Amino acid sequence: MADALISLMQKKRTAIISKWFDATIQAYAHDTAIFLKSQKDPFANPVGESTRRGIEALTDQLLGAMDASAITAGLDPIMRIRAVQSLSPARATAFIFALKPILREMFHKELQNADMARQLFDLEARVDRFALAGFDIYMGCRERVLELKANEMRNRTYRAFKRAGLVTDAPENEPQG
Protein backbone atom coordinates (compact mmCIF):
# COMPACT_ATOMS: atom_id res chain seq x y z
CA MET A 1 0.00 0.00 0.00
CA ALA A 2 0.97 3.66 0.10
CA ASP A 3 3.58 3.34 2.83
CA ALA A 4 5.74 6.43 2.19
CA LEU A 5 2.79 8.78 1.64
CA ILE A 6 0.86 7.35 4.57
CA SER A 7 3.90 7.85 6.77
CA LEU A 8 4.08 11.51 5.73
CA MET A 9 0.34 11.90 6.25
CA GLN A 10 0.52 10.40 9.72
CA LYS A 11 3.05 13.08 10.66
CA LYS A 12 0.60 15.74 9.45
CA ARG A 13 -2.55 14.04 10.79
CA THR A 14 -3.59 17.01 12.94
CA ALA A 15 -3.23 19.46 10.04
CA ILE A 16 -5.18 17.15 7.71
CA ILE A 17 -8.01 16.85 10.24
CA SER A 18 -8.08 20.63 10.79
CA LYS A 19 -8.23 21.43 7.06
CA TRP A 20 -10.82 18.71 6.41
CA PHE A 21 -12.99 19.94 9.30
CA ASP A 22 -12.80 23.50 7.93
CA ALA A 23 -13.86 22.25 4.49
CA THR A 24 -16.67 20.19 6.03
CA ILE A 25 -18.31 23.05 7.88
CA GLN A 26 -18.41 25.16 4.72
CA ALA A 27 -21.76 23.50 3.91
CA TYR A 28 -23.26 25.63 6.68
CA ALA A 29 -24.07 29.34 6.77
CA HIS A 30 -21.06 31.56 7.52
CA ASP A 31 -22.10 32.35 11.12
CA THR A 32 -22.84 28.70 11.82
CA ALA A 33 -19.48 27.63 10.39
CA ILE A 34 -17.69 30.14 12.63
CA PHE A 35 -19.57 28.83 15.66
CA LEU A 36 -18.87 25.18 14.77
CA LYS A 37 -15.16 25.95 14.47
CA SER A 38 -14.72 28.22 17.46
CA GLN A 39 -16.97 26.65 20.11
CA LYS A 40 -14.89 23.91 21.74
CA ASP A 41 -17.42 22.86 24.41
CA PRO A 42 -18.95 19.58 23.16
CA PHE A 43 -22.19 20.23 25.07
CA ALA A 44 -22.63 23.69 23.56
CA ASN A 45 -21.57 22.46 20.11
CA PRO A 46 -22.60 18.82 19.61
CA VAL A 47 -22.68 19.17 15.80
CA GLY A 48 -19.12 20.47 15.70
CA GLU A 49 -17.93 17.83 18.16
CA SER A 50 -19.60 14.95 16.27
CA THR A 51 -18.24 16.24 12.99
CA ARG A 52 -14.69 16.59 14.34
CA ARG A 53 -14.75 13.11 15.93
CA GLY A 54 -16.09 11.61 12.71
CA ILE A 55 -13.38 13.24 10.63
CA GLU A 56 -10.72 12.03 13.06
CA ALA A 57 -12.04 8.47 12.81
CA LEU A 58 -12.18 8.65 9.01
CA THR A 59 -8.64 10.01 8.83
CA ASP A 60 -7.46 7.12 10.97
CA GLN A 61 -9.18 4.67 8.63
CA LEU A 62 -7.74 6.40 5.55
CA LEU A 63 -4.28 5.90 7.04
CA GLY A 64 -5.07 2.46 8.44
CA ALA A 65 -7.07 -0.69 7.96
CA MET A 66 -10.16 0.72 6.20
CA ASP A 67 -12.42 -1.28 8.51
CA ALA A 68 -15.98 -1.00 7.19
CA SER A 69 -17.59 -0.80 10.65
CA ALA A 70 -15.14 1.90 11.77
CA ILE A 71 -15.81 3.88 8.58
CA THR A 72 -19.55 3.62 9.20
CA ALA A 73 -19.06 4.66 12.82
CA GLY A 74 -17.13 7.74 11.70
CA LEU A 75 -19.55 8.71 8.95
CA ASP A 76 -22.85 7.91 10.66
CA PRO A 77 -23.13 10.89 13.04
CA ILE A 78 -22.06 13.36 10.34
CA MET A 79 -24.49 11.97 7.78
CA ARG A 80 -27.38 11.78 10.29
CA ILE A 81 -26.96 15.46 11.08
CA ARG A 82 -26.84 16.36 7.40
CA ALA A 83 -29.89 14.21 6.64
CA VAL A 84 -32.11 15.95 9.19
CA GLN A 85 -30.87 19.32 7.95
CA SER A 86 -32.23 18.37 4.53
CA LEU A 87 -29.00 18.98 2.65
CA SER A 88 -29.07 17.54 -0.85
CA PRO A 89 -27.21 14.23 -1.24
CA ALA A 90 -24.48 16.02 -3.20
CA ARG A 91 -24.04 18.75 -0.61
CA ALA A 92 -24.21 16.27 2.27
CA THR A 93 -21.41 14.12 0.86
CA ALA A 94 -19.28 16.87 -0.73
CA PHE A 95 -17.15 17.16 2.41
CA ILE A 96 -15.78 13.67 1.77
CA PHE A 97 -14.50 14.62 -1.67
CA ALA A 98 -13.02 17.83 -0.23
CA LEU A 99 -10.28 15.66 1.27
CA LYS A 100 -8.76 14.97 -2.15
CA PRO A 101 -7.68 18.55 -2.99
CA ILE A 102 -6.56 19.03 0.61
CA LEU A 103 -4.17 16.10 0.28
CA ARG A 104 -2.97 17.23 -3.14
CA GLU A 105 -2.24 20.71 -1.81
CA MET A 106 -0.55 19.54 1.38
CA PHE A 107 1.68 17.03 -0.42
CA HIS A 108 2.13 18.85 -3.74
CA LYS A 109 5.91 18.72 -3.61
CA GLU A 110 6.04 15.03 -2.71
CA LEU A 111 3.56 14.15 -5.46
CA GLN A 112 6.09 15.15 -8.11
CA ASN A 113 7.53 11.66 -7.50
CA ALA A 114 5.68 9.11 -9.68
CA ASP A 115 5.55 6.49 -6.91
CA MET A 116 4.04 9.00 -4.46
CA ALA A 117 1.49 10.04 -7.09
CA ARG A 118 0.46 6.38 -7.51
CA GLN A 119 0.13 6.10 -3.74
CA LEU A 120 -2.17 9.11 -3.76
CA PHE A 121 -4.39 7.42 -6.36
CA ASP A 122 -4.74 4.47 -3.97
CA LEU A 123 -5.66 6.83 -1.15
CA GLU A 124 -8.17 8.64 -3.34
CA ALA A 125 -9.86 5.30 -4.04
CA ARG A 126 -10.24 4.97 -0.27
CA VAL A 127 -11.85 8.41 -0.15
CA ASP A 128 -14.27 7.23 -2.85
CA ARG A 129 -15.19 4.28 -0.61
CA PHE A 130 -15.97 6.77 2.17
CA ALA A 131 -18.23 8.66 -0.24
CA LEU A 132 -20.17 5.55 -1.25
CA ALA A 133 -20.65 4.56 2.39
CA GLY A 134 -21.65 8.12 3.28
CA PHE A 135 -24.21 8.24 0.49
CA ASP A 136 -25.76 4.97 1.68
CA ILE A 137 -25.96 6.25 5.26
CA TYR A 138 -27.42 9.58 4.15
CA MET A 139 -30.09 7.95 2.00
CA GLY A 140 -31.04 5.53 4.78
CA CYS A 141 -31.43 8.45 7.18
CA ARG A 142 -33.47 10.48 4.67
CA GLU A 143 -35.77 7.49 4.12
CA ARG A 144 -36.28 7.23 7.90
CA VAL A 145 -37.00 10.98 8.18
CA LEU A 146 -39.56 10.77 5.38
CA GLU A 147 -41.12 7.69 6.98
CA LEU A 148 -41.45 9.54 10.31
CA LYS A 149 -43.01 12.55 8.57
CA ALA A 150 -45.50 10.32 6.74
CA ASN A 151 -46.45 8.53 9.98
CA GLU A 152 -46.92 11.86 11.76
CA MET A 153 -49.12 13.17 8.95
CA ARG A 154 -51.19 9.97 8.97
CA ASN A 155 -51.60 10.19 12.77
CA ARG A 156 -52.60 13.87 12.60
CA THR A 157 -55.14 13.13 9.90
CA TYR A 158 -56.56 10.25 11.91
CA ARG A 159 -56.85 12.39 15.06
CA ALA A 160 -58.54 15.20 13.10
CA PHE A 161 -61.01 12.76 11.56
CA LYS A 162 -61.64 11.21 14.97
CA ARG A 163 -62.34 14.64 16.53
CA ALA A 164 -64.70 15.39 13.65
CA GLY A 165 -66.50 12.09 14.27
CA LEU A 166 -65.58 10.75 10.86
CA VAL A 167 -63.91 7.55 12.15
CA THR A 168 -64.89 5.01 14.74
CA ASP A 169 -62.87 4.03 17.80
CA ALA A 170 -62.23 0.52 16.48
CA PRO A 171 -58.59 -0.36 17.36
CA GLU A 172 -57.90 -1.84 13.92
CA ASN A 173 -58.47 1.61 12.36
CA GLU A 174 -55.95 3.37 14.57
CA PRO A 175 -52.61 3.95 12.86
CA GLN A 176 -49.54 2.28 14.26
CA GLY A 177 -46.36 4.22 14.54
Band of residue 68 on the pLDDT scale cut at 50, 70, 90: very high
CA 27 to mean position of chain CA atoms = 11
pTM of the full predicted structure? 0.83
Of 58 and 169, the one with more pLDDT: 58
What is the average per-residue pLDDT within 43-57?
96
pLDDT of res. 2: 46
Band of residue 1 on the pLDDT scale cut at 50, 70, 90: very low
What is the average per-residue pLDDT within 146-155?
88
What is the average per-residue pLDDT within 103-108?
97
pLDDT digits (tens, 9 = 90+) for 11-49: 999 999 999 999 999 888 899 999 999 998 999 999 999
Q: Residue count of the chain, please give it.
A: 177
Q: 74 and 54 in contact (C-beta within 8 Å)? A: yes
Q: Who's near 134: CB < 8 A, 6+ residues apart?
A: 75, 78, 79, 92, 93, 96
Helix locations, 25-164, DSSP H = 30-38, 46-62, 68-84, 89-97, 99-106, 114-163
The amino acid at 94: A
pLDDT of res. 164: 87
What is the average per-residue pLDDT within 75-94?
92
Band of residue 175 on the pLDDT scale cut at 50, 70, 90: low
Asked if the model's pLDDT at residue 95 lies above 80, the reply is: yes
What is the average per-residue pLDDT within 120-134?
97
Q: State the average pLDDT for the chain.
A: 91
